[in-house]
């Protein structure tokens, strides 16, 4: 899969690639006594960033976007995969080579309050990278800092002030000045404007765009605010639970999203127009725990267009939704009852009371008209769960209702053009595409 991708991407050489990420993985090992699953914060991510472009990276909190940014800069250690920067694999760099490379790649953090040292003056903060890298003579450094303060729209006399004397927007300017000191080529902007008010946000975005033009910078712009990403990015990547779900040119992704997750994410943005029709796709639930990602497609637990199992093509949508929810609840219980704490409590007879499977059934299916064929399988599942065998119940459910989304992880597919990729089973025959499903759902 990745080889194919690489070929396709190297064929596309309209501009030079600066950062080339292939199958990057960052796992956090469990530090429990008896082991456990690692958290797969970044799980097999591949993409390129071209010189001088802005790649937007969006996703919900906990999807791994910040970890991805930090791994690119070697602030986290990659578990696997490569990050080639100008053709050189930086995941293997060490010692002086690493230090020298770090001049080239910088980061702006989200919270301007906690990312500046309150006990240092603005001048000291901005100068610190120059001191660390022993750039020229101290006099030159001071001169350089004054220039930079001017570049980011602060005054040279701010040199001797302390961060608390500045507003949020100004503090973010200080942060930006600090990243520019060593003339990097690549900057990771980790939610640089989410802590700021809209009017200030606009100023900082304008500044970032000016600096990009002036110094030919390449940005990875991480944000959860999609309207900001839409404004600043050339291309946008959408991440969910450690995987890239879709990547493509901003304009196309925003107007014709290919992946169901992108659809849902975009439709959830509140439009600043009270008369606009409400076309929101409602996603139920929250992203799953990254320590226990679902089998198959990571988005299957919340996907509004999950493919129905082939054996039950006529199942009503409401029943199908309830089954997806049941799958989630059973998995949650299985995990809860599998912990050592639970087993100990069970031995001493002190398990907290939980709702029985029948109560869950009443909540989920109580008001639904369940077809007989589905009903009989549900009965089997309930019987297994009643006996305390949640593993067996989940197996049976997966067996009967799993469908293709549960069977295996969707591959990355080119959608339309060869600059756009998305991970979804619906891009394959014979399933209708996410767009077709969406159009069928809305009556217009």
Which one, 248 or 304, has the nearer CB to another protein? 304
Smallest distance from the beta carbon of 205 to another protein, in angstroms? 6
Which one, 277 or 372, has the nearer CB to another protein? 277
Smallest distance from the beta carbon of 407 to another protein, in angstroms? 25
Which one, 25 or 231, has the nearer CB to another protein? 231
Which one, 94 or 164, has the nearer CB to another protein? 164
Smallest distance from the beta carbon of 332 to another protein, in angstroms? 8
Which one, 189 or 226, has the nearer CB to another protein? 226
Angle subtended at Cα 166 by Cα 163 and Cα 167, rounded to the nearest 5 degrees: 130
Which one, 149 or 266, has the nearer CB to another protein? 266
Which one, 73 or 438, has the nearer CB to another protein? 438
Which one, 201 or 406, has the nearer CB to another protein? 201
For every residue of the chain, which 3-state class applies, written as one string? CHHHHHHHHHHCCCCCEEEEEEEEEEEECCCCCCCCCCEEEEEEEEEEEECCCEEEEECCCCCCHHHHHHHHCCCCCCCEEEEEECCEEHHHCCHHHHHHHHCCEEEECCCCCCCCCCCCCHHHHHHHHHHHCCCCCHHHHHHHHHHHHHHCCCCHHHHHCCHHHCCHHHHHHHHHHHHHCCCCCEEEEECCCCCCCHHHHHHHHHHHHHHHHHHCCEEEEEECCHHHHHHHCCEEEEEECCEEEEEEEHHHHHHCCCCHHHHHHHHCCCCCCCCCCCCCCCCCCCCCCCCCCCCCCCCCCCCCCCCCCCCCCCCCHHHHHHHHHHHHHHHHHHHHHHCHHHHHHHHCCCCCCCCCHHHHHHHHHCCCCCCHHHHHHHHHHHHHHHCCCHHHHHHHHHHHHCHHHHHCCCCEEECCCCCCEEECHHHCCCCCCHHHHHHHHCCC
Smallest distance from the beta carbon of 231 to another protein, in angstroms? 4
Smallest distance from the beta carbon of 120 to another protein, in angstroms? 23
Q: Are 47 and 55 in contact (CB under 8 A)?
A: yes
- Alpha carbon separation from 314 to 96, 309, 317, 377, 401 (Å, rounded): 64, 10, 9, 15, 13
Smallest distance from the beta carbon of 250 to another protein, in angstroms? 11
Angle subtended at Cα 1 by Cα 297 and Cα 399, rounded to the nearest 5 degrees: 30
Residue with tokens 């000016």: 210
Which one, 90 or 303, has the nearer CB to another protein? 303
Catalog residues that contact another protein under the rule CB under 8 A. 60-61, 167-169, 197-203, 205-206, 209, 224, 226-228, 230-232, 264-265, 268-276, 278, 280, 282-284, 286, 325, 329, 332, 336, 352-355, 359-360, 363
235 phi/psi in degrees, rounded to 5: -130, 160
Bridge pairing between strands 80-85 and 17-28: antiparallel
Smallest distance from the beta carbon of 176 to another protein, in angstroms? 16
Which one, 126 or 360, has the nearer CB to another protein? 360
Which one, 204 or 374, has the nearer CB to another protein? 204
């Amino acid at each position: 899969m990745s080889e194919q991708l690489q070929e396709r991407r190297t064929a596309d050489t309209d501009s030079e690639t600066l950062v080339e990420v292939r199958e990057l993985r960052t796992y956090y090992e469990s530090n429990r006594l008896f082991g456990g699953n690692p958290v797969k914060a970044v799980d097999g991510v591949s993409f390129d960033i071209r010189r001088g472009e802005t790649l937007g990276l969006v996703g919900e909190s906990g999807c791994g976007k910040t970890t991805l940014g930090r791994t690119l800069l070697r602030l986290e250690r990659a578990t696997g995969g490569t990050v080639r920067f100008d053709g050189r694999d930086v995941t293997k760099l060490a010692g002086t080579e690493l230090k020298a490379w770090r001049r080239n790649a910088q980061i702006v953090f989200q919270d301007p309050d906690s990312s500046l040292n309150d006990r240092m003056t603005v001048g000291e903060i901005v100068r610190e990278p120059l001191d660390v890298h022993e750039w020229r003579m101290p006099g030159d450094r001071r001169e350089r800092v004054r220039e930079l303060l001017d570049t980011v729209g602060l005054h040279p006399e701010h040199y001797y002030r302390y961060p608390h004397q500045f507003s949020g927007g100004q503090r973010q300017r200080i942060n930006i000045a600090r990243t520019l000191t060593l003339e990097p080529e690549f900057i990771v902007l980790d939610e640089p404007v989410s802590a700021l008010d809209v009017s200030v946000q606009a100023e900082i975005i304008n500044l970032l765009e000016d600096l990009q033009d002036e110094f030919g910078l390449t940005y990875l712009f991480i944000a959860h605010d999609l309207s900001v990403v839409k404004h600043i990015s050339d291309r946008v990547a959408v991440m969910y639970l450690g995987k890239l779900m879709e990547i493509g040119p901003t304009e196309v992704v925003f107007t014709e999203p290919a992946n169901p997750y992108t659809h849902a994410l975009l439709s959830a943005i509140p439009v600043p127009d009270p008369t606009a029709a409400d076309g929101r796709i409602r996603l139920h639930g929250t992203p799953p725990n990254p320590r226990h990602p679902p089998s198959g497609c990571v988005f299957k637990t919340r996907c509004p267009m999950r493919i129905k199992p082939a054996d039950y093509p006529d199942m009503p949508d409401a029943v199908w939704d309830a089954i997806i929810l049941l799958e989630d609840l059973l998995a949650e219980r299985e995990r809860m009852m599998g912990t050592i704490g639970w087993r100990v409590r069970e031995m001493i007879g002190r398990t907290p009371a939980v709702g029985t499977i029948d109560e869950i059934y009443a909540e989920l299916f109580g008001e639904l008209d369940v077809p007989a064929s589905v009903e009989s399988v549900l009965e089997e599942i309930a019987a297994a769960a009643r006996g305390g065998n949640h593993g067996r119940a989940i197996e049976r459910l997966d067996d009967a209702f799993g469908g293709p989304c549960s069977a295996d992880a969707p591959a990355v597919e080119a959608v339309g053009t060869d600059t756009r990729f998305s991970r979804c089973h619906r891009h394959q025959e014979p399933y209708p595409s996410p767009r077709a499903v969406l159009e069928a759902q809305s009556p217009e």
